[in-house]
Amino acid sequence: MSILIIVMVSIYVAVSVGLIWTVMMQMSKHAGLGGAFGSGSLYTVFGREKGLDTLGKITLTLAITFMALSVLVAYVLNLPSIH
């Protein structure tokens, strides 16, 4: 059972790092600290972009995977057979 924990936590860390990286790459589109506070909306004069770009889809997938793994890792760590 400890191998399962090691594998799940390793995947969890990899997804976490990937999610941080993709969010930071999207933030680089909006130069400076103002991009974190919504100055990117300045470029939506002609309407919002339709759909997500490839990086947006990767970020969405990693975010959903992160949330699912959070629940699974918490469940596996609290199994009585591990203690």
Domain borders along the chain are 1-28+51-83
The predicted pLDDT at position 29 comes to 65
**What letter represents residue 75's amino acid?**
Y
The predicted pLDDT at position 1 comes to 65
- pTM given for the model: 0.71
The predicted pLDDT at position 51 comes to 74
Number of other residues whose CB lies within 10 A of the CB of residue 23: 13
Tens of each residue's pLDDT in the chain, 83 residues: 689 889 999 999 999 999 999 998 887 765 555 555 555 555 555 556 667 788 889 999 999 999 999 999 999 888 887 54
Question: What distance in Å separates the CA atoms of residue 54 and residue 29, rounded to the nearest whole number?
Answer: 14
Q: How many CA atoms lie less than 13 Å away from 53 in the CB half-sphere?
A: 8
